[in-house]
Structure 1
Amino acid sequence: MGTVRDLRAGRSNQPWIDFLDNEIATADPQTTRHAIAKIFRRSLFSTRGCLPSDAALQLDTYYQETYLPSNPELKDQDDKGMVAFLAGLYGLVVDLMFYIPYHHGLQYTLIDFLYELRHLPPKEIKFEGETCLIYEEEPVLEKMMNEKWEVNNPITKDEPDPEELEKKCSAWVNVSAFAARCIEAGFADHFKEKCTIPCMDIAKALEEDHPPGIKRNCLIRVAVQYIMIAGAKICQQKIGKAKTEEQQMWLGKWKIWAEKLLQLAEQNELEPGLTSEVREAHGTMVALQPRLFKFKR
């Protein structure tokens, strides 16, 4: 699991449904991933829909009433089997995001679902010798997102087929937008690396020269999503009050990135939809650090 697959089932306009149905049909029924796919399919992604709070409760009930009783040895473990359980949950969520378009409201539905998990009665576990709260302060989400980033990044791989490359790049934009929403929602506030991956992707798009084409469009669109959605968080965590040498360094990068976005917008060589997003991202950067930019009256 964990790579973008070609799903050619009937609902071409709902590939996320095809993905879940395929998971249910092919995954090992004894795995957490299979059980969570079924919960998602009959709740958040059913024809009748479901409140994210209800889906969160269903998931927690499955852990308490099915997962633990089926594996009684877990009760004696420090993490109560929760690390493996969360790996199944977050792995499925992130894989699902490859199929949900970056501008689709279902991305926010999954963010709301993760919010609701944090509103459940808190549970403490021990992980790698440290006590942490599940859903809120545990490191599993960070590790899972980092793994997906390393495995699925289409920019670092050679893909000779333009159609396949475009599909993988589109999926990469989708999952990057979701990562940005996780940052904006505060889910990454306790991450050790925090905004490292977004800043790497933004820098690659806006500090390096790339020939026109699918990869360049992908890089720019990923950078734009991080800036528009999570720009305030990135600015806060990397620049802060701009008092330290490192914060000043990031402030300089902020100006370089904004100027590159303005250049791209004014050149008007990108596809129309991307050009408008680039302009919006530039406006976001200026609004977050207005003193950096001088305007002619």
Structure 2
Amino acid sequence: MDVDAMSKPGCYHNADDQLQQRQKLQQQQKQAEDVGYDDGNGQSSWVAYLETERNRQFDPVDDAFMCIFRDLLRSHAVDAARDAARAIDGAFARGWLPQRSMLKHAGDEGLADFVHLVYNLIFELAPLLRHDSAQHVRLFELLVELRRLPPRSFKLNSNEYIPYVNDPDFFDVLHEETRNCYQEGPHPRRHLTADDSEDTNSAAFRQQCEAWVNFSLFKARCVEAGILHQRTNAHGLPADQIVEGLETDPLPVSQPARDCKVMVAAQYLAVAGARFHERLILVPRRVFNDNASTNVKAAAAIALHRGRARWSLWAARLEFLAQRGGLSPYVVDALEVARRRVVALEPVLFPGMAMRR
């Protein structure tokens, strides 16, 4: 039996059988794995999105440029993301810019406009790709590889930026897409806390919840990679999503809403737990141990106490919700992964669990 299962009070002796049943149900729920959502016509939604972008009547996008994204998401090559990043970089001068006479001589503005387009495509594709798919990983790897390109710079408002590294469009587009993804369709922001809505179990609402889970995992990967750093920008901060998913009682009655809220919180801790641990515990601990003034050390001690208390609370809530939250099997699995991550990052808070690991 898994050591974490043994550590749970009132655990069942047939945990292995339960795990197999849970995995079977989870597999049934993921029949469309690695292809995205079906749009009803046998076509995955990300394919439909790229086709729509190709055929837009205003500001048309070059076919070759859109094919870079299509080929990336269909590829299984190890270097697919790196090759796509290089192709995107080359497409700016060779294909995209010459077709736009108004931008051909715009210099820096043309490059800034192109970078904005790339971000739009990435962040609009992220909700359409299943959070557990290889395609979702490849799209994130593309963002990483774009940051590794040989640097070129552009100026906006007398400030110099490096595309994909420190340009302002990243946070602007991320903020806009976060708002769109969270509020489109049947408005998950309202229904994730509403228990009496008739459409919280509709297919449209379920799909919107799935899109929010997908998009949130993409942001969690950005947090873990240091691309989206909580202390450097006020847009799209994920900490409130953990609080909403783990600390809010009662959870919505609607199964899709309940699964969505908790799944988002679990993903942030499982994927980017080290970043939250650093902010809540490591940084105040470091300040407290430094040769600082008495007042600074006192403030750090208070921050450390609060951080450790919240870390312990999150671990307890992850365990409680896994056992008694009435969640779908795949969410329970995610909670268990997140709890193991939380315990491993600060084992001194969980001596009993650490001994059983």
Give the TM bin, normalised by the shorter chain: 0.7 to 0.9
Q: Is the 8 A contact 1:98 1:174 kept in 2?
A: yes
**In the superposition, relative to structure 1, how do residues 199 and 19 fare at CA in structure 2: closer, same or farther (>3 Å)?**
same
| More deviation, 228-237/43-52 | 43-52
**TM-score normalised according to structure 2 size:** 0.71
Q: Is the 8 A contact 2:188 2:208 kept in 1?
A: no
1:217 to partner: Cα distance: 1.0
For the residue of structure 2 that corresponds to 1:131, the secondary structure is strand
Residue aligning to 2:140: 111
Residue aligning to 1:45: 73
**In the superposition, relative to structure 1, how do residues 262 and 218 fare at CA in structure 2: closer, same or farther (>3 Å)?**
same
Residue aligning to 2:19: none
**In the superposition, relative to structure 1, how do residues 197 and 34 fare at CA in structure 2: closer, same or farther (>3 Å)?**
farther
1:169-208 matches, within 5 Å, as 169-189=209-229, 192-193=232-233, 197-208=237-248
1:220 to partner: Cα distance: 0.3
Structure 2 counterpart of 1:174, one-letter code = N
User: Do residues 261 (structure 1) and 294 (structure 2) align?
Assistant: no
1:260-284 Cα offsets, whole Å, 9 max, x none, are 1111123263222211211111111
For the residue of structure 1 that corresponds to 2:284, the secondary structure is coil
Q: Decide which of 251, 262, 268 is 1:226's aligned counterpart.
A: 268
1:148-163 matches, within 5 Å, as 148-153=177-182, 154-158=187-191, 160-161=198-199, 162=201, 163=203
Residue aligning to 1:211: 252
1:71-110 matches, within 5 Å, as 71=100, 74=103, 79-110=108-139
Q: State how far apart, in whole Å, the 2-side matches of 1:144 and 1:239 are.
A: 31
Q: State how far apart, in whole Å, the 1-side matches of 2:190 and 2:284 are.
A: 36
Q: Is the 8 A contact 2:146 2:164 kept in 1?
A: yes
Residue aligning to 2:45: 15
**In the superposition, relative to structure 1, how do residues 185 and 131 fare at CA in structure 2: closer, same or farther (>3 Å)?**
same
For the residue of structure 2 that corresponds to 1:44, the secondary structure is helix
How many residues matched? 289
Q: Decide which of 279, 283, 300 is 1:241's aligned counterpart.
A: 283
1:182 to partner: Cα distance: 1.8
| More deviation, 188-197/92-101 | 188-197
**In the superposition, relative to structure 1, how do residues 193 and 267 fare at CA in structure 2: closer, same or farther (>3 Å)?**
same
Percent of residue pairs bearing the same amino acid type:
28
**In the superposition, relative to structure 1, how do residues 75 and 291 fare at CA in structure 2: closer, same or farther (>3 Å)?**
farther
Q: State how far apart, in whole Å, the 2-side matches of 1:141 and 1:171 are.
A: 20
**TM-score normalised according to structure 1 size:** 0.84
Q: Is the 8 A contact 2:153 2:160 kept in 1?
A: yes
Q: Is the 8 A contact 1:55 1:113 kept in 2?
A: yes
**In the superposition, relative to structure 1, how do residues 160 and 139 fare at CA in structure 2: closer, same or farther (>3 Å)?**
farther
Alignment RMSD, CA only?
3.0
